[in-house]
């Protein structure tokens, strides 16, 4: 039964994460066969293991933190792929139709986007919303999202307990 579900998941998630051009020359960064992320295909603004994300001067500390952040993204991507596939399998969400993404994911306590940005890139047909109580974190996240070309991500500042928008899947790494 698990293998059947994984096979269904692979097929269904391909629709959720399809970032291919019309000729199919650009494969997705999240491989549905191995469920691994090819970080070279992720914009630097969306990669928690690249760029100027951390202020530490200790290179070993920075390296371990970058690896840990990438591992967190992969873990959440695997879970999210199953949840998106389940929404599709149950018929409650259609990811194949035109227009606005149907599955809505909220990242509660998103910070500056170390989790939200790569997930939004990996799942372009899913709508993401980042929520954090720190305005500067939201400002940074939106700046990175724009530079990374993400069109499926919105963000707002506020407290988790006051969030009143409708959503399908809630994520919280540090909330």
Q: Which of 29-33, 123-127, 137-141 has the highest mean predicted lDDT (pLDDT)? A: 137-141
Question: Are the C-beta atoms of residues 69 and 114 closer than 8 Å to each other?
Answer: yes
pLDDT tens by residue, 19-34: 544 444 445 787 777 7
CA angle 128, 134, 135 (to 5 degrees): 80
- Quickly state the pLDDT bin for 82 (edges 50, 70, 90): confident
CB atoms within 10 A of CB 7: 10
Q: Is the pTM of this model over 0.85?
A: no
Q: Which of 30-39, 84-93, 109-118 has the highest mean predicted lDDT (pLDDT)? A: 109-118
- Please check the confidence at residue 13 and state whether its pLDDT lies above 60: no
Q: Enter the tokens of residue 172.
A: 């919280």
Mean of all residue pLDDT scores within the chain: 80
Pairing of β 153-157 and β 169-171: unpaired
CA 43 to chain centre: 13
């Amino acid at each position: 039964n698990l293998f059947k579900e994984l096979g269904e998941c692979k097929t269904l998630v391909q629709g959720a994460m399809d970032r291919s051009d019309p000729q199919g020359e650009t494969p997705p960064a999240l491989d549905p066969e191995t469920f691994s992320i090819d970080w070279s295909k992720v914009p630097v603004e969306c990669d928690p293991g690249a760029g100027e994300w951390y202020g530490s001067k200790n290179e070993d500390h920075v390296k371990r933190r970058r690896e840990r952040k990438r591992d967190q993204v992969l873990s959440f991507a695997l879970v999210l792929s199953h949840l998106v596939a389940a929404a599709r399998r149950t018929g409650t969400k259609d990811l194949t139709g035109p227009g606005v993404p149907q599955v809505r994911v909220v990242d509660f306590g998103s910070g500056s986007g170390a989790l939200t940005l790569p997930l939004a890139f990996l799942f372009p047909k899913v709508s993401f919303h980042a929520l954090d109580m720190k305005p500067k974190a939201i400002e940074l996240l939106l700046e990175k999202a724009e530079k990374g070309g993400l069109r499926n991500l919105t963000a707002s500042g506020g407290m988790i307990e006051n969030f009143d928008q409708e959503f399908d899947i809630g994520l919280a790494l540090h909330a």
